[in-house]
Structure 1
């Protein structure tokens, strides 16, 4: 193939992380899986499905480990949003983030994919991240692209930094939003089973293979009852 040849766009998939038990949202999550907790009358996960569908993502993988049958019954095939939902059930207690993604890789394929934490509310434009995913598909130097946000009150020390070359640094004042584009190769050599994502990302950061961007729009980690109420107040529905 000529180096000037135009490559056809790759069909980008997405994964919504929905396997958390939601202990900090109890008692709401005693009978309802965390992704179905309503925010202004709509299950939180539906905001993500709608936004991904609007951006053009047609295949969405959802993992679950708590009340997964109810999650699948509520969301169904995805036809109402014009997408196909694929489910990745995990054992009781879940596999943590990296473990859950590794288990779902056969559903996600060989191309870069979007990842969205199921317990955040945001209005991030996924369409621009699809462009990033297309670029990463032909750029073997990048294994991950993270969306960072100014650190909220509950995480004032931050997670990561960002240098002038848009490379994510292992220390800094920004918080990981839970939204990213990941290349399957990020998990090469990682064993199956329970494993966290942060160590995998930090290893890639040390090799300067993780880029990022700062997002300053609407974003909220709906991880506690207090923050759920604050999110609904921010959106003007309470």
Structure 2
């Protein structure tokens, strides 16, 4: 599942006319990068949630992009607004399997590899979620979660890292006792993800690992401009 329902307030005025996941980084819409990375790993059945200017996303990608089949969960159309992360995931559960990836469509991680091996390890672990954390960027120096020596995500730790938004999940995380919203979220309940994850972490049911590859939360026009400038070849170069 690719999360693409955010308003992108900090990206204004760019997002006044374009949803943030469609803003271009190095010649491609932001969300095209994970679509292609997932397909490269063999994950070609995608769900995308939408809200703000959400009609632009299926107009851009349709229901198939290259090898990937795309289904949509139109939160704005169905409920008048985004359902937050957990609410959006629960809404999409009928379209998802028992184990599935979730990531934000506005995060740039071009080197991240979505692999079947990662899914197999997660399935064998019996855990409810597995998160990829990254070194803390300047806008989140306190971090979000720690990692135990056994590879468990921790609410409290002397060293915390930032949640990359990339994770593997079991549908069971979005059921009681962690989440009380019925699968399909027919009422359009809004719910954040962090409290659900933290409750499961307290029971030792969330794994984590540190990802050291290129990663950017494209949250401001300045970060977007820096990404596009970073890879631009120097004049007169080869």
TM-score bracket, shorter-length normalisation: 0.7 to 0.9
Confirm or deny: 8 A CA contact 1:113 1:181 kept in the other structure.
yes
Q: Distance in 2 between matches of 1:98 and 1:235?
A: 34
Selected match of 2:92 from 95, 100, 104 = 104
Match of 2:83 in 1: 95
- Three-state SS of the structure 2 residue aligned to 1:194 is coil
Partner of 1:162: 147
CA deviation after TM superposition for structure 1 residue 138, in Å = 4.1
Partner of 2:171 in structure 1?
A: 184
Distance 2:212 2:230 in 1: 15
Cα offset, 1:124, TM superposition: 4.1
C-alpha displacement of 1:237: 6.3
| Contact 1:21/1:93 (8 A) holds in 2 | no
Question: Contact 1:144/1:182 (CA < 8 Å) preserved in 2?
Answer: yes
TM-score (norm 1): 0.88
Aligned to 2:112: 125
1:52 paired to 2:38:
yes
Q: Secondary structure at the match of 1:230?
A: helix
Asked whether the equivalents of residues 18 and 53 of structure 2 are also in contact (C-alpha less than 8 Å), the reply is yes
* Structure-1 residue corresponding to 2:20: 34
Offset at residue 209 of structure 1 (A):
0.4
| Helix, strand or coil at the partner of 2:63 | coil
Q: Which moved more, 1:199-208 or 1:39-48?
A: 39-48
Deviation of the 1:230 alpha carbon: 2.1
Aligned: 1:232 with 2:228? yes
1:204 has 2:200 as partner: yes
Match of 2:2 in 1: 16
1:115 to 86, 102, 105: 102
Q: Distance in 1 between matches of 2:112 and 2:99?
A: 17
Displacement after TM superposition at 1:68 (Å): 1.4
For the residue of structure 2 that corresponds to 1:185, the secondary structure is helix
Whole-Å separation in 2 of the counterparts to 1:116 and 1:236: 26
Matched, 1:222 2:218: yes
Give, in whole Å, the separation in 1 of the partners of 2:100 and 2:73. 15
